[in-house]
Amino acid sequence: MELKCDFQVHHPLGGASYVFEHDLINYILRKVKKDKIVISIGAQPNSSPHFGTLCVFSLAFSLASLIKSKSCKEVEVLFEVVDTAPSKTITVNGIKYQMDLKESNKMSESMNDFEEILEYYSKKNNIKYSIRNQNEFNGQEEIKNILSNIVNHEDDVKFLLDPDNGRLRMRCSCLECGLVDKEGINTVIKDNIIESFCPNHGEYKVDYMIESNRVEYNTPLRNLVRAIMYGIINDSSSYDYEIIRITGGDYAGFYQEELLYKASSILGYEANKLPMIVYCPQILDWSGAKLSKSLYVKEGAYQYLPKYVINYSYLRDKFGINGLDVIIDETKLWLNEPYRLFRNYSVYYFIKLFEERYNNGIK
The crossing angle, in degrees rounded to 10, of helices 105-125 and 324-336 is 60
Residues recorded for the chain: 363
Sign, CA torsion 221/223/229/231: negative
172: contact with Zn ion by CB under 5 A: no
Instruction: Give the pairing type, strands 95-100 and 179-181.
Output: antiparallel
Q: Cα angle vertex 198, ends 195, 204, to 5°?
A: 35
Sign, CA torsion 242/248/252/258: negative
Part in contact with Zn ion (CB under 5 A); list of ranges 17-25, 104-112, 166-174, 239-247? 166-174
CB of 302 to Zn ion, least distance (A): 38
- By C-beta, is 67 or 174 nearer to Zn ion? 174
176: contact with Zn ion by CB under 5 A: yes
Candidate residues 13, 19, 177, 210; the one interacting with Zn ion per rule CB under 5 A: 177
321: contact with Zn ion by CB under 5 A: no
- Contact map string, positions 117 to 156, toward Zn ion, x by CB under 5 A: ----------------------------------------
- Contact map string, positions 102 to 121, toward Zn ion, x by CB under 5 A: --------------------
- By C-beta, is 81 or 198 nearer to Zn ion? 198
Please classify residue 237 by burial: count the beta carbons closer than 10 Å to its beta carbon, then call 0-12 exposed, 13-18 middle and 19+ buried.
exposed
Strand partners, 311: 50
| CB 122 within 8 Å of CB 324 | no
Question: Distance (Å, rounded) from C-alpha 341 to C-alpha 363?
Answer: 28
Q: Which H or E run includes 296?
A: helix 293-299
CB of 201 to Zn ion, least distance (A): 4
200: contact with Zn ion by CB under 5 A: yes
Minimal CB distance residue for Zn ion: 174
CB of 88 to Zn ion, least distance (A): 15
Candidate residues 146, 151, 189, 198; the one interacting with Zn ion per rule CB under 5 A: 198
Phi and psi, residue 344, nearest 5°: -115, 170
201: contact with Zn ion by CB under 5 A: yes
Candidate residues 101, 174, 246, 263; the one interacting with Zn ion per rule CB under 5 A: 174
CB of 179 to Zn ion, least distance (A): 5
User: For binding to Zn ion (CB under 5 A), which residues are involved?
Assistant: 174, 176-177, 198, 200-201
